[in-house]
Structure 1
Amino acid sequence: MFNKKDISIVVADDHPMLLRGLLDELIANGYNIIGSATNGTQALEQILSLFPTIALLDIDMPMLSGFDVVKMAKEKGASTKFIMFSYHREAEFILQAKSLQIDGYLLKEDSFVEIEKCMDAVVNGREFFSSSFDSKKIKDMSVEIKRLQWLTPSEMTILKLVAQEKSNKEIAKGLSVSVRTVEKHRSNIISKLWSKVESKPLNFWAITHQKLILSYN
């Protein structure tokens, strides 16, 4: 277990009572709280100016969502560990968290023991998702996301259009490129996603994994 006083924390939630309750619980248990925020803009400012070890963020906040805060903070080079703290358990939220390589994801109904387990894990370089989630599904998502990380921005753009059931001709017209260019990108995507042995029909795979692909940043 890490030394609580050595870990600085910023907490952000737009519900005052929930924020106060969480802050009180953390302080009572010896954690070093260096900032709190009630909207995404405040949270981002504090992360970039206070350099917390951990930022515990609600997803649904005014001005900037928790996901927006993470994305913008990482673009600025923040080394903070990010934990989402939300009521959302839907797959698209988990997928977005995975695609942003967020360190932890907790549900607001989780116990404080679960929060402590999560913080211990992320401080020690391990990913932690609430035990309420199906661990097999989380693992499967991780495998598929790793595949997507091999793609270039142009290939990812085309894959997202394929996932939306756009034809090669429609994609070419929308991107102002030739159909041949689209076909070449599709071929590259297939070769990067799978080996020759496990190669799959791209359209079927993309539509099946539509939420994952469209949530990927």
Structure 2
Amino acid sequence: MKRIRVHIAEDHDVVKDGILSLLKNVNIDTVGCTKNGVDCIEWFQTNVADVLILDIDMPELDGVGVLKKLKERNIDVKTLILSCHSEDIFIKESFKHGALGYILKDDLSYDLSEVIRIINNGETFYSEGVNQNLLLEAQDELALLDGLTPTEVEVLANLGYEGCYVKNKTIKTSTLRVHLLNIRRKLNLKTNAGLAKFALLIQNNR
């Protein structure tokens, strides 16, 4: 059986050492450790791991920022978030930007090596304290965007605060109105604030 390669991005030595201890004598190799988000991204520029164990609170670039950079640079690694934060915003943003798992540091009910195997298989895993409804909501929002045409997605991507078309794009006002009408209908939106929400969703996932 192929051994799973894991990289740990964690700035607290106590937590990092605890993870290393838990992964001893199992079919998992720790191939690298970094203490801040920038170093984590740089490590993946020249190295490879199957699973990234990533803390949210990272110096220089936080965990969500790391997820965004990995996506921008087409770095393919399955990510497990290990965090003390149970707040909705951290969970939802991590999920939107590609994390497959989210474990709370004070949740001792799981076997970390087994969770890593689950994540490595492309499946999801979340601590009991994680709000499952948030994950479904984020997934549903992304799924709604699949119903838009490429042009409609581009129009949304160029919307700014409160749904105003702010980028310098060559498009007739009448044509823009038609696109926005179709977008509102497909996404069931009634306000410009709703448009701005989906515009931000697209911008954050590029």
CA positional deviation for 1:152: 1.7
8 Å CA contact retained: 2:158, 2:167: no
1:105 aligns with 2:106: no
Q: Which runs of 5+ in 1 are unaligned?
A: 194-198
8 Å CA contact retained: 1:27, 1:33: no
User: How many positions carry a matched residue from both structures?
Assistant: 198
Partner Cα distance (1:157, 1:92) in 2: 24
Q: Structure 1 residue aligned with 2:123, among 115, 123, 126?
A: 126
Q: Which runs of 5+ in 2 are unaligned?
A: none
TM normalised by structure 1 equals: 0.75
Partner Cα distance (2:15, 2:203) in 1: 28
CA positional deviation for 1:27: 2.5
Task: Identify if the C-alpha distance between structure 1 residues 120 and 113 changes in structure 2 by more than 3 Å, giving closer, same or farther.
Answer: same
Q: State the partner residue of 1:91.
A: 88
Q: CA RMSD in A?
A: 3.0
Task: Identify if the C-alpha distance between structure 1 residues 112 and 42 changes in structure 2 by more than 3 Å, giving closer, same or farther.
Answer: farther
Q: State the partner residue of 1:70.
A: 67
Q: State the partner residue of 1:152.
A: 153
Task: Identify if the C-alpha distance between structure 1 residues 77 and 216 changes in structure 2 by more than 3 Å, giving closer, same or farther.
Answer: closer
Partner Cα distance (1:157, 1:93) in 2: 25
CA positional deviation for 1:88: 1.7
8 Å CA contact retained: 1:10, 1:47: no
Partner Cα distance (2:201, 2:5) in 1: 34
Partner Cα distance (2:42, 2:109) in 1: 27
| Higher share in helix | 1
Code of the residue aligned with 1:152 in structure 2: it is V
CA positional deviation for 1:6: 0.6
1:188 aligns with 2:182: yes
Partner Cα distance (2:117, 2:43) in 1: 22
Partner Cα distance (1:39, 1:213) in 2: 26
